[in-house]
Amino acid sequence: MTHTAFGRPLPSAEETREFLSGGLAPVGCRTCSVRVLVKKNSPKHTSIQWTADSSACPVYAASDRPPALQDTCPELQRSIDEDVRAGALGVAGE
């Protein structure tokens, strides 16, 4: 029996896994050494998946806002941008 949602077949476990983690690459912050997984979906859209508690980042730890409501750490963003410029991290579709 095929399960559906809104008249469409539900994705397989493999399709779901690919959607959630496909294309993620490790990036280390050059300031604090925190490591995250990153996917550049476009030049302006970056997906970041934390692999450790975000409080390991001094910028996040110093904030009084919950991590989910904070903007990306500027130091981490610089590290991601440098990896893209160096060709160590690709942008989807480019």
Query: What is the rounded distance in angstroms from the CA atom of residue 36 to the CA atom of residue 75?
Result: 13
pTM of the model: 0.76
* Average pLDDT for 15-25: 75
Closest among 48, 94, 51, 53 to 75, alpha carbons compared: 48
Q: Residue 93 has what DSSP assignment?
A: T
Are 9 and 3 spatial neighbours (Cβ–Cβ below 8 Å)? Answer: yes
pLDDT at 42 over 60: yes
pLDDT digits 0-9 by tens, 47-69? 999 888 888 899 989 999 887 88
Yes or no: say if 89 and 83 are a contact pair by the CB < 8 Å rule. yes
